[in-house]
Amino acid sequence: MEPINEMRWARIVLVTLAGVVSHTFGRSTMPLLLPAIAEDLELNATTAGATGSVNMAAYLCGVIAVTYLANRVAPAVLLKCGLWIVSAGLLCLGTAPTTSQVMVGTALAGLGGAGIWLTMPVIATSDVPVAKRGTVMGSLTATMAVGSIIIPFATSALRDLVDDVGAWREVWLLELVASGAILVVLYVALRKDISPPLPRGAGIKAITRLQAWKTAVFFYMAFAFVAASWFQFFGLSLESDHNMSRGFTTNLWALMGIGGVVGAVVFGRLSDRLGRPRTMCLVTAIGAATCLLVLAGQMWTAALAATLYGMAGMAVPPLTAAFVRDQVAEQDFTAVFGAMTIFYGPASVLGPISGGVLADITGSYLLTYLVLAITFVFASVAAWHLGQSEKQDVIH
């Protein structure tokens, strides 16, 4: 095993660029642009929420496909295929004249994102000591968060350039160009990757290999419900319920990205010391607080919510992946994490659409964010119980 100071960090960082395409471009940009899209295409809250549900439903389909193909196709090949599919989705979004094409584009982005996210941890943590995997997994999210810092500023600059505060298609096309560059870089970085297809997994039953797997699944489903919705309605809530300007809300996404960089690294390292479950409990408790900060309706509370959610919310996926990776062999990771992500899918589909329906019924996003806060609390309690199960296993 290579010492940590001799690990190929440059290659790891290059691989994490794929996460920028799948999560920053393919998922996080939609909520950023959604107020402008909703205004341009005259979307109600339910339809706006449906864009997130469609993305996550397609992601679930991708998870099922990747889990099936994991023992037949090399991880690097699946990752590259995911990049191509997300790029096709960005092209579709960047040229969309109708709501239907927006839905198709976000579906392609979700579908391709599964191929990236389920294989990226395997490639990035290959030959990495267990004690350093939290740090490496944190770097995955940190890289994506850097992208989240750049995109809001690029969006504002582009809107100033075209003199249109409601411009959104041009942003997708700009991301398409960046995706093409990242695709070329990754082809070079992985040109010598000859990793074989992973051994045949056990399908959805693979999840039973985890300790306290039912609690782990509940935690991930609760987080999925919240994560898919919190992002989706953040800008809409601040603009519609609290009359904040689009320029201000757009720049808040940069604060979220900064928080993501800090949180991914800090909580990744913290999890190497405290353990994954304890850290997962902490970040979801912080997440619950951010929902209340959004509802406070002040500019400073909105900025604080964005920063803290970036730190906490963006840390959960890599922490969960590290939690799974600690317990299973490298060749079993994709099957087990894929099975866990299959449970993630339905909750992430339900979250945005239900949040949109609640907003349309009540006329505001108050009840939506209260439900998200309660769900975050449930996730935190579940993570605490995971930690207790871990202690019992050590005792026995």
Compute mean pLDDT per 10 residues along the chain, 396 residues long, and list them. Answer: 51 80 89 94 94 92 84 85 96 96 96 88 72 69 79 92 92 95 85 61 68 90 94 93 93 90 86 90 96 96 96 88 80 76 87 95 96 97 82 49
pLDDT for 383 equals 94
pLDDT for 195 equals 58
pLDDT for 13 equals 74
pLDDT for 196 equals 59
Reported pTM: 0.80
pLDDT for 211 equals 80
pLDDT for 75 equals 85
pLDDT for 207 equals 79
- State the CATH class of domain 4-395: mainly alpha
pLDDT for 391 equals 55
- 3-state secondary structure at position 298: coil
User: In angstroms, what CA-CA distances link 316 with 52, 127, 137, 181, 268?
Assistant: 19, 23, 10, 28, 10
pLDDT for 394 equals 46
Residues with Cβ within 8 Å of 353's Cβ and at least 6 positions away in sequence, in order, are 46, 49, 50, 52, 53
Backbone angle region of 211, left / alpha / beta, with phi > 0 → left and psi within -120 to 50 → alpha: beta
φ/ψ of 338, rounded to 5, equals -65, -40
CA pseudo-torsion sign 69, 71, 72, 74: positive
> What is the 8-class DSSP label of residue 364?
S
CA distance 125 to 131: 11
pLDDT for 1 equals 41
